[in-house]
A and B are shown apart, each in its own frame.
With several copies, the nearest count.
Chain A
Amino acid sequence: MSLSRDQMAIRVARELQDGYYVNLGIGIPTLVANHVPEEMEVMLQSENGLLGMGPFPTEDEVDADLINAGKQTVTTATGASIFSSAESFAMIRGGHVDLTVLGAFEVDASGNIASWMIPGKLIKGMGGAMDLVAGADNIVVMMTHADKYGKSKLLSECSLPLTGAGCIKQVLTDLAYLEIYDGKFHLVERAPGVSIEEIVEKTAGALVVPDSVPEMKF
């Protein structure tokens, strides 16, 4: 069985460590916030200038001046700090964020990522994605293994315009957890009940399958 979105978030949350400053991309990555282990503290960075993002506000707390990078109203957590966009990206570009989780259209065996533009569709812009992938040492890409037509999103070479070159080392899909190095994908874990054959079949880029590939446990 492929992972549900929540299971994907749970698996990514296992990469968290106590005291981590984390940037969660818009979309599925935000679900990771719901699965921070209880004994652990993490602080969420929002690239529009907030470190220490709290939960969504109650109706009474809603404040037009307090939003996240997804433009949603939010609150501040205890011990938050607020700063300019230049300062925010100084943190990101300077490698001060411990973990970045973001979605993608494609990732390839060289660690390239395409996540911001599909030619022919309207261009909306890369927002902070190019800065995030260039700035973080520790990035987890979170996406489905294949698109809705069954076409692999783990390629030998990205076909879409890149968000960043050679910067992705870890990918969590609905089928597997993989690492990227030496120009290849390396299968590390598989979703419960998902066969190695299915993963091999749905991975277009070079894939190394070790002798033993443990199943994720939930």
Chain B
Amino acid sequence: MAGFDKVVNTYEEAMAGLENGMTVIAGGFGICGIPENLIKEIKKMGSKELTIISNNCGCDGLGLGILLEDRQIKKMVSSYVGENKMFEEQLLSGELEVELTPQGTLAEKMRAGGAGIPAFYTATGFGTDIAKGKDVREFDGRKYILEESVTGDFAIVKAWKADRFGNAIYRHTAMNFNPMAATAGKITVMEVEEIVEPGELDPMHIHTSGIYVDRLIQGTFEKRIELRTVREN
């Protein structure tokens, strides 16, 4: 029997079950630590009317940006939608809906969603447009707004290494939103650079426990750099 082996061999299997109108939570910051190939598979599948919850929307031609090409996204929940020509066009034409969410609130919404916390109070955004329609409450003389958590039909994340059980570690700042995204999907799909055998990773250094991972696939990644900034040797 399969036991805890989460490995699937094709991207078709990895994303099987994704339907039009579903909500997908994606890890990544800019184009760092994004599940490149899972996103490509969504493009290939042609799913429409998707709600995507992700800090950013990739860039033109890479990451979630490629889902704009065939107008697969109905709504983005993001903190920063950056420099993306196609994004701008679809937003201005009203084809694309955007729910801007402060970055820390977005990270906490994902974590809370995965942790069974339906809502939490935060000072972030109090007194701004973000607070409109939200409950305000005072604690210790300071005002906070109530933010609700998010979950997805799917979560798609990218890690560095994982064992076959889905116990994963991230590399450097490619961690970013991936650990929280991984907890918040009804089905969580993880792609990694290397799959190892259970027992090879130190239990004390697992960033994402396999309990959150439903499907695991090994891929190859472009890992494009958005702003290559160097100093003299």
Chains A and B touch each other in the complex, with CB atoms below 8 Å apart: yes
- Decide yes or no whether B129 CB sits under 8 A from chain A: yes
- Decide yes or no whether A57 CB sits under 8 A from chain B: yes
Which residues of chain B are within 8 angstroms of A70 by Cβ–Cβ distance? 227
- Decide yes or no whether B103 CB sits under 8 A from chain A: yes
CA distance A19 to B224 in the complex (A): 35
- Decide yes or no whether B88 CB sits under 8 A from chain A: yes
Q: Which residues of B (195-209) have their CB < 8 Å from a CB of A?
A: 198-199, 203-204, 206-207, 209
CA distance A55 to B231 in the complex (A): 8
Interface SS of chain A:
loop
Interface SS of chain B:
loop
Q: Are A52 and B203 in contact, with the CB atoms below 8 A?
A: yes
Q: What 0/1 readout, one digit per residue, does chain A (135-175) give for beta carbons within 8 Å of chain B?
A: 10000000000000000000000000111111000000000
Which residues of chain B are within 8 angstroms of A210 by Cβ–Cβ distance? none
Q: Are A78 and B211 in contact, with the CB atoms below 8 A?
A: no
- Decide yes or no whether A27 CB sits under 8 A from chain B: no
- Decide yes or no whether A76 CB sits under 8 A from chain B: yes
Q: Are B32 and A71 in contact, with the CB atoms below 8 A?
A: yes
Which residues of chain A are within 8 angstroms of B44 by Cβ–Cβ distance? none
Q: What 0/1 readout, one digit per residue, does chain A (75-94) give for beta carbons within 8 Å of chain B?
A: 01011111111111111111
Q: Count how many chain B residues have C-beta atoms less than 8 Å from C-beta atoms of the other chain.
A: 80
Q: Are A96 and B211 in contact, with the CB atoms below 8 A?
A: yes
Summed over the interface, the residue pairs from A and B with CB atoms below 8 Å come to a total of 248
Q: Are B79 and A125 in contact, with the CB atoms below 8 A?
A: yes
Q: Which residues of A (25-44) have their CB < 8 Å from a CB of B?
A: 39-41, 43
Sort A-B residue pairs by CB-CB distance and give the 10 closest, nearest first: A165-B127, A89-B104, A79-B198, A41-B3, A131-B104, A93-B116, A90-B115, A125-B80, A130-B102, A64-B223
Q: A43-B211, A49-B175, A82-B172 are in contact. List 9 more A-B contacts (CB 8 A).
A: A39-B1, A48-B29, A67-B32, A71-B29, A90-B114, A94-B113, A126-B103, A131-B103, A131-B124
Q: List 6 A-B contacts (CB under 8 A).
A: A39-B1, A67-B29, A85-B29, A126-B102, A130-B124, A135-B124
Residues of B with Cβ closer than 8 Å to A? 1-4, 29-30, 32-33, 55, 78-83, 88, 91-92, 98, 100, 102-108, 110-111, 113-117, 122-130, 160, 163-165, 167, 171-180, 183, 198-199, 203-204, 206-207, 209-212, 223-233
